Amino acid sequence: MLPRKNLVDLKKEFPRIRKEGKIYDSQSFGLIVAFGSGDGPQASFIVSKKVSKSSVIRHEIKRKLSDGVTPFFPRLGKKVELVFLAKQKAVESNNDNFKIEIESVLYRARLVTS
């Protein structure tokens, strides 16, 4: 999991990020990219009950997304804010699929280079 300093405070920041950010889609998740005033890159994960009624599965998806984005943090800009919106397909995905999809989406968003 990401350290607290690298998590977006969704209660305060989500309306601004949703309004100012750009959305990129993937099979397992959507990604909202915005730029804020943070010290370093920040990310957050939203997995609704529509994805799974089981909290165990929802937390597992959050952990997989967190583990998938962590290797890219050193290469991201200092003020990048990422919000991952899990889709139903995320239940079936494994860690390797998440890493590949995350890299692909971050490349399309021009946040990392190959």
Q: What is the domain partition of the chain in residue ranges?
A: 4-108
pLDDT value of position 114? 64
pLDDT attached to residue 22: 94
Whole-number Å distance between alpha carbons of 105 and 76: 13
Model confidence over 70-85: pLDDT tens digits? 999 888 877 899 999 9
56 burial type by CB count under 10 A (0-12 exposed, 13-18 middle, 19+ buried) = exposed
pTM for this entry: 0.91
pLDDT score recorded for residue 65? 92
Nearest of 106, 82, 91 to residue 26 by alpha carbon: 106
Domain 4-108: assigned CATH number? 3.30.230.10
User: Which has the closest alpha carbon to 96: 62, 56, 67?
Assistant: 67
Percent pLDDT > 70 in the chain is: 99
* Residue 5 scores a pLDDT above 90: no
